[in-house]
Amino acid sequence: MRKLLAFAFLFFFFWDKTLAQIAPAPPLKVDNITSILEKGGQFTTFIKLLKATQVADQLNNQLSTPDPNDGITVFAPSDNAFSGLKPGTLNSLSDQEKLQLVQFHVLPTLMSTSQFQTASNPLRTQAGDVKGGKFPLNVTAEGNQVNVTTGVVNATVENSVFSDRRIAVYQVDKVLLPPKAGVKGAVVAGAVSLKFHALAMGFSSFAVFWAIFRGF
């Protein structure tokens, strides 16, 4: 009887162990970037850009990989941040420039708030290489305040929207315009200013001519 019980014990022990070895691993929890932002409730414009440029799909695919070291950091401008842009700024950008703008808000590594203290600037973003000052993103931290600068805008991290072992999302109070977009905006503004200046000069000259003509 004892031998039978011992045999039964060993049988079920090794059977359970074998099942544990061949049982499929539980599915990896995937965090959806758009769902995270939708729960935040104030990122409508940024979500539209993420979807339009297909960066949302790319980030979600990256998050679904089994590599736990493949992390992401996202600086998400709020709707108020986008409302602070000059009218027509987004519409003036090409599809490629919109893609680069969105990618400029994404770091291909996971960074916690404490890591901002020792960040090695400029940080590399998904927009491309930082060489030549094309996409320079610098992060500085003093106490609890974290600032993000691009050479065009100085933004502040307002709060942490979401953070886990794969992705960190931080709300910023300004859209992180890279230098190229900033220069383009300045050129457009300058051209408009010159146009109005020329019109004003033309009107002034006409007024002088009309006054002289009336004098005769």
Q: Where are the domains of the chain?
A: 26-215
Q: Are strands 154-163 and 167-172 parallel, antiparallel or unpaired?
A: antiparallel
Q: Looking at this protein, which amino acid is placed at residue 188?
A: V
For the stretch 148-196, pLDDT in tens is 999 999 999 999 999 998 999 999 999 999 986 544 443 333 333 334 3
User: What pTM value is reported for the model?
Assistant: 0.71
Do 167 and 33 touch, CB atoms closer than 8 A? yes
Lowest-pLDDT range, 26-30, 105-109, 173-177? 26-30
Q: Which residues, 6+ apart, have CB-to-CB distance to 146 below 8 Å?
A: 113, 116, 139, 140, 156, 157, 170
Helix 33-40 / helix 55-63 crossing angle, nearest 10 deg: 110
CATH (one of 2.30.180.10, 3.30.300.30, 1.20.210.10, 3.90.79.10) for 26-215: 2.30.180.10
Structure tokens at 161: 């929207």
